[in-house]
Amino acid sequence: MTKNILITGGAGYIGSHIAEILVKNKKKIFIVDNLSTGYRRLINKKAKFFKININNKKKLRSILINHKIDSIIHLAASLIIEKGEKYPKYYYKNNVSGSKKLMSACIGTMVKNFIFSSTAAVYKDGLYKVSEKSPLKPKSVYGKTKLKAEKLIINQCKKNKINYGILRYFNIVGSSPSGKIGLINKGDHLFKNFSIQTYKKNPIFKIYGTNYNTKDGTCIRDFIHVSDIAEIHSKVLEKINMTNKSKILNCGYGTGISVKQVALEFKKYANKNLKIKKMSNRKGDLVKIIALNKNLKKFIRWKAKFNNLKVMVRSSLKWEKNQ
Ligand SMILES: NC(=O)c1ccc[n+]([C@@H]2O[C@H](COP(=O)([O-])OP(=O)(O)OC[C@H]3O[C@@H](n4cnc5c(N)ncnc54)[C@H](O)[C@@H]3O)[C@@H](O)[C@H]2O)c1
C-alpha cells in the first residue's frame, strides 16, 4: 500500500479533490504549490503544505527524502489554452521544465509511483472518439507542453524503475459533495462561467464557436465530474503500486455533450432574461473530442458515479451559490 503521497498543485481545483479523497483513505498527504492559481482555503487541513515552486529541485528533493514520499501525483501546471497561445515561453517553462525538475528530484529517493495529469488536448483535432493509441498532435501550446511533459516523465520513470500513470483528463467539472472545495478560478472554464452567470440578475452565457461541423454547431466535450477523477487517482495509484505496471489512460465518461446542451441545462436555473451570446471561435479549441475509456475501466474496474449532465450542473451551481 502507498503511504506518503506528495501532490503538486494540491491547492488547486483538482488537486484539492484528490487530497480530500486520499486523506479519507488514511494517506499522509504533502502538498507542494506556489499558489500561482491555487488557494490556501482549498488546502486540506490534514495535509502538510509547502509553498514552493516545482522548479525548486533542491527543496523538492529534501521534502521527498525527509518525508519518505513513496508516490507523487503531479498536477502543478499552467492550463489556460488562450494564455498559452499568448505566453508560450512561460507555459514551456512551467509545464515542461517544471516537470523535468520534479522528475530529476525523484531520482535516488523512495519514490516508487508517479501519476501525471495530462489532457485530451494532446490528441489530434477532428478524431472525435479517441483511444490512448489515437494520433497525438496537440493544437494548442498548452497541449504541446503537456505532451512534452508526458514523454519526459515516461522516459525518466522507465530509466529509474518508477511506475507511472499518465492520466489524460477530459473536461473536469463539478465540486465535492462535502461542499468544502470547488472551482474558484474563472479561467476559461465553461461550467464555472455559466454558474457565475446563472446567479446574476442579467445573465449572459457566451458560446465560443457556433458554426462548427457538429450536431448543433457548438463544440463537443466529454465532461467528467471532479469526484470521479479524484477516485480514479486513488485507484490507479494503488493499482500501479501493487502490480508494478505503468499505464497511459484516458479519463472521461465517453459521452459527448455539446456546449449548447450545457447552456440549455444551466438555463433551467437562470433568470428569465438570460441572453445566450454567440462568440467567434477561439484559437486552440478542439472541435469535438470524447474518450474511449475501455482501458481505464478494465485497469481499475471503474464505475462512474456522477455521469449525468444534470448532476454535474447542479454540483457546480451548489458550490457557486456559496461563494
Ligand atoms: N481542469 C481541467 O478540466 C483539466 C483538464 C485536463 C487536464 N488538467 C490538468 O489538471 C491539472 C490541475 O488543473 P486544475 O484545473 O486543478 O488547475 P488549477 O490552476 O486549479 O491547479 C493548478 C495548481 O498548480 C499550482 N502551480 C502551477 N504552477 C506551479 C509551479 N510552478 N509550482 C508549484 N505550483 C504550481 C497552482 O498554484 C494551482 O494550485 C493541470 O496539470 C492541468 O493541466 C485539467
Domain 4-172+223-251 architecture: 3-Layer(aba) Sandwich (3.40)
pLDDT by position in tens, the chain (length 323): 999 999 999 999 999 999 999 999 999 999 999 999 999 999 999 999 999 999 999 999 999 999 999 999 999 999 998 899 999 999 999 999 999 999 999 999 999 999 999 999 999 988 999 999 999 999 999 999 999 999 999 999 999 999 999 999 999 999 999 999 999 987 779 999 999 999 999 999 999 999 999 999 999 999 999 999 999 999 999 999 999 999 999 999 999 999 999 999 999 999 989 999 999 998 778 899 999 999 999 999 999 999 999 999 999 999 999 99
**CB within 8 Å of 314: residues ≥ 6 apart:** none
Catalytic residue of the set 13, 91, 92, 142: 142
For 196, 280, 315, the CA distances from 201, given in Å and listed in that order, are 11, 25, 21
User: CA nearest 254: which of 222, 286, 302?
Assistant: 222
Q: What is the 84 CA–ligand 1 centroid distance (Å)?
A: 13
Ligand 1 contact via 130 beta carbon (within 6 Å): no
pTM: 0.97
Q: Does the annotation mark 253 as catalytic?
A: no
Dig out the grid coordinates for 192 from the structure. Answer: 464555472
Q: Tell me yes or no: is domain 173-221+254-321 CATH 3.90.25.10.
A: yes
Q: What is the 167 CA–ligand 1 centroid distance (Å)?
A: 13
Chain region(s) in the chain for CATH 3.90.25.10:
173-221+254-321
Chain region(s) in the chain for CATH 3.40.50.720:
4-172+223-251
Ligand 1 contact via 54 beta carbon (within 6 Å): yes
Tell me the pLDDT tens digit for each residue of 109-146: 999 999 999 999 999 988 999 999 999 999 999 999 99
Q: Which atom of ligand 1 is nearest to the CA of 98?
A: 31
Detail the DSSP E strand segments found in 247-320: 247-251, 257-258, 275-279, 289-291
Q: Name which residue sits closest to atom 29 of ligand 1, judged by CA.
A: 76
